[in-house]
A and B are shown apart, each in its own frame.
Chain A
Amino acid sequence: MRPEHRLNPADANLGELTDEELMLRVQEGSNQAFDILVGRYKGKLYTYIYRLLGNEDDAEEFAQEAFVKAYIHADKYRTVAKFSTWLYTIATNLVRNKVRNVKRRPRMLSTWSDFRSEDEGKWMEIRDDSKRPDDYTERRKLQQLIQEAVEKIPEKYRAAFVLREIDGMSYDEISAVTGLKLGTVRSRINRARSHFKRLIAPVLSADYNFKESK
């Protein structure tokens, strides 16, 4: 008798499982479990990387690569760590390595030019405005200015800052993601906050101009 091809009953309620339980299923060979994890984290991870790099194409590229690495190295995942922490660690390392390589080989024209904060003036800043339509709403304009301020925070402090202030991670989690000691994480976040305050100050005053010119 020909066997029927059915869904594994264990996979029927995969959506109700926690990230860590899903990862155990991935380790057992369930692709469906991994699809659910990708669905859960694609937006968050993409946004996180976009906040760091300020480039949609790079954010998409690195987010995909992070998921690929998570799948390929699924057997190395241990449930003692949160899946989100593990995934963000992979993504952060990818971005860090890329930035490091770009810094070693500075280019005249680079989409990574926003990482110039510590090497201001060395790279030519040519922003890619092709994906930014002119009909931004006021809110979108404000978001863009905030994003630009975030991108101008020194790269050294940026990841910890974004993880804390935007993704709301705990210090312990940030320490795990960045591989830094708790004290270092704390000081970097506070330094980044001060940088951000200084960088966003013109936007705060310009915010009134937005409202007046409306």
Chain B
Amino acid sequence: MNKPLTAKDFATDQEVRWCPGCGDYAILKCMQKTLADVEADPDKTVFVSGIGCSSRFPYYMNSYGFHTIHGRAPAFATGLKLANPELDVWIVTGDGDGLSIGGNHLLHVLRRNLDTQVLLFNNEIYGLTKGQYSPTSRVGTRSPSTPSGSIDAPVSPGAFALGANARFIARGIDTDAKNLSPVLKAAREFKGAAFVEIFQNCIVYNKDRFEDFVAKKTAADTQIHCEHGKPLLFAKGAKGLKLNAATLKLEIVDVGENATPVEDVLVHDETNRVLAQMLLTLPMGEFPMPLGVIYREPAQSFDDAFSQHHPSGRKRTGKVADALRKGSVWKKS
């Protein structure tokens, strides 16, 4: 490349058609800037999506892109990545696409550890079909299909991913590019399935659903940014998370000279699956929202193993003409 890439290089000539103010705009911008920052090759980058508002994403990224069918993006991405392991494949999905109709495929792409990034835009609502509750909607969500409030318990995307044996689980907020961009970079660098839940504001059907912890004014008290090897502190260092050995639960402690010393605050270990489980299931509201890379424990990726275990290393070493003659062949004259 002669001149450095900019976010604009990753924008297409297509008019972006999300609702004005939709969180998707911020994520798109952050992605375009992030890929420019890491000098990603647009010709080797592919965005694969399913159906839903988030799944329009590929049309707006000036790379290769495939807008597929509802819930199945992970399966298309799997075939694509196996066919050409050199590609950098991103899956863009939502809480409905990824966890409702496509829950099965999400489970399998994560447990197989395909080298891909799965971005799940969670807005806790169906947007494109006009506002029905989704599998991440909290109990009591009033929607066109649940006029007196939803009654079924929601799924936690992060806990689902961990249960599926995902080896990279991170969280970010749509409008918080400062913290989202490093998460996207880390996801891209991870060799394996990198699952990123992005809290995304649907301003039409579920406006400010995450305001409790995304509001900038109170963010210091309501967010905890996880960094490997660093104590789990928030509220500008005034509070932290500590493990209560008796209950095996995390608790909030005041940190300081007259309170808990910082050395006693739990240090984030992104390779600790048990800690990841606790962070991903912290009760909302009571605790700050853990963000950043919560779990990262690499293992061989599926596409890598697929080629490694292929009998001829994906090369055509034999001839059909010879294969036809394997076994018992007889001649007629």
The answer to whether A and B belong to the same complex is no
Residues of chain A touching chain B, judged by Cβ–Cβ distance below 8 Å, are none
